[in-house]
Each structure stands twice: as C-alpha cells, then as structure tokens.
Amino acid sequence: MPETPIFEKKNVLVTGGAGFIGSFLCERLLKDSKVICVDNFLTSSEGNIDHLLPNPDFEFIRADINAPLELEKYPELDRFKVKFQGVQEIYHLACPMSAKRFEQFRQETMLANSVGMRNVLDLAVKNKARFLLASTSVVYGPRPADGHLFRESEFGCYDHMTPRGCYDEGRRWAETMTSTYRDVAGLDIRLARIFRTYGPRMPLYDGQMIPDFIVDALEGKDLVVFGDENFRTSLCFVTDIVDGLVKMMNLPTDPGPINLGSDYDVKLMDVANRIISLTNSSSKVVFQPPLMFMTELGLPDLTKSKEKLGWIPLVPLEQGLKRAIEYTTARKGLISTRFQG
C-alpha cells in the first residue's frame, strides 16, 4: 500500500464503474471509502449510478481508459485530496461488453485489453495502489466435453484468430500484463476470474437473455433463447460477485487467480420458464441461432475461493430472479432502451 497520508478514508478508483457489476461495486465500496468512478458509457448506463451522484464520497469522471488518466488534473477530485493522497486501490472492470453489438466494438475491445490496460496499470504503479483485474471465465476456453469444473491452474485453448479473439485472447493478455507488472514493477495485484453474472441493472435488448427474458415476460412476448433447449450455463447474482471482489482486494497478499461464480449448472430454457411463472406471464420460450458472444461456458471449481476468501455464492437463483424481476417491474417504463435493436 502507498506510503502517503490518508485523509479520513482511502481513495478507491473503479474503472467501468457505471457498468452492471461496476455500479454495484461502487455502491458497496462507499460504505467505508471514497470512490472515483471512471466510465465512458460505451456499453454502460448513466442510470446505473444516478443514485450515487449525491453522495459526497462519490465522484464520476467521464473518461476513456485508452487515453492516459491523470486524476490530479480533475478539479472535482480536489475534495478527495488526490494530489496528496493519490488512490490506494484500483478495481479495473473497464472493457466493452455487448452481446448483440460485439462486432461494433471489436476495435475498442482490443484497445481496452492492451492500451487501456497499460494506462491503468501505469496509474497503479504511479500511486503504488493495490490493483484488482476483473477478468473472466473465457480465459479457460469453451465448456469442456467431460464437464469438469475449471480450476485456476488450468489454461484455455481456443482459436485466437476468430472475431471473438479481441475479447477472449484480450482477456488472457490483460492477465499477462497484470502479472508482468507484478513481477517487473512490484505491483500488488489480484486476478478475479468472473463467471456468468446476472441481476438488476443489466443492459436491456443486448442479448444477455436474463433481463430480456424479464421484460418480454412482463410484456407477454416470446422469450428468446439464443441457442437450443440444451443451452446450459451457471448464473451468479451480482452482489455475490461484488462480495468476492472486495474480499479479494482485502487479502493481505496476492493469492493468484481466483474463480468467482456459481458451480450450479442450469438450462436457460428452465430459467426462462421460471421467469414466466414468477411473472404470471402467458409468454412462451422460443429458440434462435446463438450469438457470437453468448455461448456455453464452463463452470468454476470454487475450492480456492472457499479456502482463500471464505466465499461461496449465497443468493439462490430463485431469490435472485425475484429481485431482478422486482427491479425491472418497478423501472420498466423508465429504463433506457438505448441498447434496443
């Protein structure tokens, strides 16, 4: 941790903080920290952080990580005494994520996983800040034929020349950059490998399926599964993921990569039918060809997360779906449909 004075509370930077997971993380961190949220709204939403803006310990900076981030040049951060205190922790979540618009943001994704990574890592070195990379389960490659759970010691095998390579291989490279900065620059790092996550504030009409299931069920429309009746996945509620990220950051030493997700396999068709039941909808489930960015993924072995963090997912799927339905029902007429189409 930096040898700089801390005035009342530590300063924590969250890149991608207006995103789905990032906004919940900012909310959680405000319990005992000052939070600087950085986002460019490429695939995130202003509405995710509207409720945080009045908090005096929260500040939003609209910026692109693909350009160097010089926090001391933002006068709005003077009250956080950034020029003297710097930042103590960086949670790095910024990377375009859009299932339906994946092709549109391929170049931005490639840059975020290279140039953007360098900029944020350099900022961490400058501030001597502890750095957490929110990586992903795609580094393991596709779901294994034998169905075994992925352990952190495994490494994936896939074609890095496909259109998805800018994300899949990009995330592997992001991990490589982070571990190299640890070895060369002495950076204190954490690597979280996040599996499929769901909950309130997910973007609508973006092919993520769970939020679209809910809206379509409420409107009596067909629920579209981008795959067949056997499309399986694991689903972890967003607050459980946030709890795991915070626990990782608070560890005294680098534990190496840690899986965060659910090891419970479910059919998306069954999830869709459960949402129909919970909303008392007359909708039915239909199937369409898979999206490039919405594919079957493997499940995590959680042995290390239990041993190192004392962490397991706590929110049952039924409860999580109800919370997501309640959120969407209350805000359906207000939620931006900027992702539609």
**Which range marks the domain in which residue 224 is found?**
199-233+264-296+316-331
Give the whole-angstrom CA distance, residue 158 versus residue 315: 32
Shared domain for 255 and 272, answered yes or no, is no
Catalytic residue among 167, 181, 198, 205: 167
How far lies 129's CA from each of 33, 78, 120, 126, in Å? 14, 19, 11, 8
Q: Which amino acid is at 118?
A: R
Q: Which two tokens stand for residue 139?
A: 């580094």
CA dist 172 and 113 (Å) reads 9
The CATH number given to whatever domain includes residue 206 is 3.90.25.10
Q: Tally the domains of the chain.
A: 2
3-state DSSP of 224-291: EEECCCCCEECCEEHHHHHHHHHHHHCCCCCCCCEEECCCCCEEHHHHHHHHHHHCCCCCCEEEECCE
**pLDDT per position in the chain (341 positions), as tens?**
446 777 789 999 999 999 999 999 999 999 999 999 999 998 888 999 999 999 999 999 999 999 999 999 999 999 999 999 999 999 999 988 766 676 777 888 889 889 999 999 999 999 999 999 999 999 998 888 898 999 999 987 766 767 676 778 889 999 999 999 999 999 999 999 999 999 999 887 776 889 999 999 999 999 999 889 999 999 999 999 999 999 999 999 999 999 999 999 999 999 999 999 999 999 999 999 887 656 778 999 999 999 999 999 999 999 999 999 999 888 776 544 433 33
* Burial 184-200, CB ≥16 within 10 A → b, else e: eeebbbbbbbbbbbbbb
8, amino acid identity? E
Question: Is 181 a domain residue?
Answer: yes
Torsion of CA 218, 224, 230, 235, to 10 degrees: -50
112 and 229: one domain? no
* Residue that the structure tokens 């709890």 belong to: 243
Q: Using an 8 Å Cβ cutoff, are 55 and 236 in contact?
A: no
Q: Residue 113: which CATH number?
A: 3.40.50.720
Residues 247 and 224 both lie in one domain? no
* Pairwise CA distance, residues 290 & 48, whole Å: 28
> Do residues 185 and 224 both lie within one domain?
no
For 53-103, the pLDDT digits (tens) are 999 999 999 999 999 999 999 999 999 999 999 999 999 999 887 666 767
Same domain assignment for residues 155 and 22: yes
Three-class DSSP category at 133: strand
What are the backbone angles phi and psi of residue 4, rounded to the nearest 5°?
A: -125, 155
267 backbone dihedrals φ, ψ, rounded to 5°: -85, 130
User: Would you say residue 340 lies in a domain?
Assistant: no
Q: What is the pTM of this model?
A: 0.92
167 carries an active-site annotation: yes
Residue 303 lies in a domain: no
* 132 and 280 fall within a common domain: no
Q: Are 217 and 90 part of one and the same domain?
A: no
